[in-house]
Amino acid sequence: MPGVELYELIRKRRSIRQYKPDAIPHPVLERILEAACWAPSGKNLQNWRFFVLQGPFRDDYLQYAQKAWLHLQPVLEKRLKPSLYQFTERFFYTLGEAPVVILAYSQPHPEENNQTALGSVYMAVQNLVLAAEAEGLGTCVMGSPLEVKDEINRFLGLEHSELELVCGITVGYPAHEPPAAPRQPDRVVWLGQAQS
């Protein structure tokens, strides 16, 4: 089957929440960010902006992951079974020791619907996630930074900017192999049949 490697890559990807301490070579990071920027976007506005946090910036960022946990903790305590709850709490406190955290932003445009702009950024994020997988890296996309977006904007000096935070992504070499999270079988509705 043509493109079988891509299908395998898509099936193999997991959200990774524990990373090896190994640094990611800069050319590898450049490649996955370039792949992100080849995503389709509404009106080809390429409205994504990526902030790549490494070293002391990544270390300083941890405090926001921890603050986000304080917002989400009451809900997750009820939703998750105890072992998963503890694992998740540790992830928020350490980000799984990921050496790189990427913050994805959207640049609003007067002629672009906000939802379309958001979708374009997520197209780029998915490219990045799959390119990372192809490089032997693991990632975890996180909506949780939105809980403390104003503080993160100040951290990046964006408090007077129009940019809107979309998500965070941890990146690093995986230190665990989580099982596949099950997929629901009923998410596709087929209408009619192709004419032969």
Ligand X SMILES: Cc1cc2nc3c(=O)[nH]c(=O)nc-3n(C[C@H](O)[C@H](O)[C@H](O)COP(=O)(O)O)c2cc1C
Q: Where does residue 104 rank: exposed (0-12), middle (13-18), buried (19+ CB within 10 A)?
A: buried
Specify the amino acid at residue 136.
G
Tokens of 191: 């209408």
Under rule CB under 6 A, residue 94 binds ligand X: no
Between 101 and 195, whose beta carbon lies closer to ligand X?
Answer: 101
144 binds ligand X (CB under 6 A): yes
- Report the nearest approach of ligand X to the CB of residue 63 (Å): 16
Distance CA 83, CA 67 (A): 21
Of 100, 118, 124, 142, which lies in the binding site for ligand X, with binding defined by CB under 6 A? Answer: 142
Sequence-ordered list of residues with C-beta below 8 angstroms from that of 179, at least 6 positions apart, any chain: 14
Question: Can you tell me whether residue 1 is helix, strand or coil?
Answer: coil
Q: Residues 152-171: x/- map of binding to ligand X (CB under 6 A)?
A: ---------------x----
Of the residues 117, 132, 140, 165, which one makes contact with ligand X according to CB under 6 A: 140
* Residues in region 8-27 near ligand X by CB under 6 A: 14-15
Q: Is 7 exposed, middle or buried (0-12, 13-18, 19+ CB in 10 A)?
A: exposed
Is 73 a binder of ligand X (CB under 6 A)? no
**Binding residues vs ligand X (CB under 6 A):** 14-15, 91, 140-144, 167, 181
